Amino acid sequence: MRSMMYLIKFGGSVITEKSNKNAVFKKSVMDKLAESLASAGKEYIIVHGAGSFGHVLAKKHDLNNGFQSDKQRIGFSMTQTKVQQLNTYVLQSLQKQGLPTVSIPPHATISLNNHVENEFQKEIYYKYLSKGFIPVTYGDVVLDKALGFSICSGDLLIESLSESFKPEKVIFVMDEDGLYKENPKMNPNAAFIDHISSEELNSLNTKLDDHADVTGGMQGKIETILQITNHNVDVLLLNGNKPDRLYDALVGNKTKYTLIQR
Ligand code: IPE
């Protein structure tokens, strides 16, 4: 649709202290990333993860397994508010850089059916984009036709939005530099991958066993990447703790990242 639009995912482990059971927003990291987006001056749709604002409560109330008891209702309600609070912090960082963001909450625009997309009202994204706004959405708890409710991850949103909007690229802003040929935590000399085709990534993926996590901790990511490249969209993985990398990747400067091309 918009050829120079970039679809960006800020991982929950980049913008929050994910392992902290108290929800902690990494404001200085988010502020720098917001600066990179503003300086690069492209069009964006932004998706962010929930990190410690979502996963702690969702686990405590067993929300991803669906509606099983009345007690979960307040857990769903509190989780929804907590991730919305993180969303407000993200919007404030972006607005400080003059970026005209609009929050689009998944719990009001999406429903799932046994964890997969059921309905997703995307017209609102088109309308805001066409008026020059930057839609921002996030991992959330949502209605689920089969389960009552479940979790809608940022990766599910990214995959579905990339299919509809065909961005120039999907950029995953992570807390790792990108992909390696072997698990970098098992082999510190594992070779870094600058550039790989989706076919090569697919064969690398099937060769790897469960212990050979080439992202160094982001299992499941490769499946999402391959689905996005199936929609004819290139994917870039980069480290959000080195904020210059996001800026450099957006403006076409040489920097460290992994590019996965269809
Ligand atoms: C999870 O979203 C949403 C909830 C737990 C409510 P994500 O799966 O996108 O979050 P991160 O990036 O892993 O933190």
Q: Which atom of ligand 1 is found nearest the CA of 139?
A: 2
Contact by Cβ (8 Å): 105, 50:
no
Q: 154 CA to middle of ligand 1, Å?
A: 6
Q: How many domains does the chain have?
A: 2
Task: State yes or no: pLDDT of 206 exceeds 70.
Answer: no
Q: Is 168 helix (H, G, I), strand (E, B) or coil?
A: coil
Question: Does 121 map to a domain?
Answer: yes
What pLDDT sits at residue 187? Answer: 83
> Are 186 and 58 part of one and the same domain?
no
Cβ of residue 9 lying under 6 Å from some atom of ligand 1: no
Which residues touch 221 (CB under 8 Å, ≥6 apart)?
A: 155, 172, 215
Q: 153 CA to middle of ligand 1, Å?
A: 5
Q: Which atom of ligand 1 is found nearest the CA of 155?
A: 9
Question: What confidence tens digit (pLDDT) does each residue in 111-134 have?
Answer: 999 999 999 999 999 999 999 999
> Are 51 and 132 part of one and the same domain?
yes
Domain of 190 in residue numbering reads as 176-216
Cβ of residue 11 lying under 6 Å from some atom of ligand 1: yes
Task: State yes or no: pLDDT of 9 exceeds 60.
Answer: yes
> Are 31 and 148 part of one and the same domain?
yes
Which residues touch 83 (CB under 8 Å, ≥6 apart)?
A: 50, 53, 54, 138, 139, 140, 141
> Are 84 and 169 part of one and the same domain?
yes
> Are 144 and 93 part of one and the same domain?
yes
Between 19 and 89, where is the model more confident? 89
Cβ of residue 99 lying under 6 Å from some atom of ligand 1: no
What pLDDT sits at residue 220? Answer: 74
State phi, psi for 45 to the nearest 5 degrees. Answer: -115, 135
Q: What value does the mean pLDDT of the chain take?
A: 93
> Are 133 and 95 part of one and the same domain?
yes
> Are 171 and 186 part of one and the same domain?
no
Which residue owns the Cα nearest ligand 1 atom 8?
153
Tell me which DSSP letter residue 28 carries.
Answer: H
Distance CA 176, CA 166 (A): 25
Rounded to an integer, the average pLDDT of 135-144 is: 98
Q: Give the lowest-confidence range in 56-60, 152-156, 183-187, 201-205.
A: 183-187
Question: Taking phi first (over 0 means left), then psi (-120 to 50 degrees means alpha), and beta for anything else, what does residue 154 get?
Answer: alpha
What pLDDT sits at residue 221? Answer: 85
Query: The domain spanning residue 149 has which CATH number?
Result: 3.40.1160.10
Cα distance from N-terminal residue to C-terminal residue, the chain: 18
> Are 171 and 107 part of one and the same domain?
yes
Q: 47 CA to middle of ligand 1, Å?
A: 10
Q: Which atom of ligand 1 is found nearest the CA of 11?
A: 12
Number of continuous H segments (helices) and E segments (strands) in the chain: 10, 12
Reported in sequence order, the residue ranges of 133-233 that DSSP labels E, i.e. its strands, are 134-138, 140-144, 148-152, 169-174, 195-197
What pLDDT sits at residue 2? Answer: 43
Q: Is 64 helix (H, G, I), strand (E, B) or coil?
A: helix
Cβ of residue 154 lying under 6 Å from some atom of ligand 1: yes
Contact by Cβ (8 Å): 76, 149:
yes
> Are 102 and 120 part of one and the same domain?
yes
Question: Does 259 map to a domain?
Answer: no
Task: State yes or no: pLDDT of 150 exceeds 70.
Answer: yes
Q: How far is CA 247 from CA 41, 133, 180, in A?
A: 10, 20, 22
Question: Does 260 map to a domain?
Answer: no
Q: Can you give the pTM of this predicted structure?
A: 0.94
Distance CA 56, CA 108 (A): 22
Question: Does 261 map to a domain?
Answer: no
Amino acid at 110: I
Q: What percent of the chain has pLDDT over 90?
A: 83
Task: State yes or no: pLDDT of 212 exceeds 90.
Answer: no
Which residue owns the Cα nearest ligand 1 atom 3?
139
> Are 133 and 46 part of one and the same domain?
yes
Which residue owns the Cα nearest ligand 1 atom 10?
49
State phi, psi for 59 to the nearest 5 degrees. Answer: -70, -45
Structure tokens given for 4: 């120079």
> Are 185 and 152 part of one and the same domain?
no
> Are 168 and 200 part of one and the same domain?
no
Tell me which DSSP letter residue 25 carries.
Answer: B
What pLDDT sits at residue 209? Answer: 56
Q: 140 CA to middle of ligand 1, Å?
A: 7
State phi, psi for 147 to the nearest 5 degrees. Answer: -105, -5
Distance CA 42, CA 99 (A): 11
Rounded to an integer, the average pLDDT of 211-239 is: 80
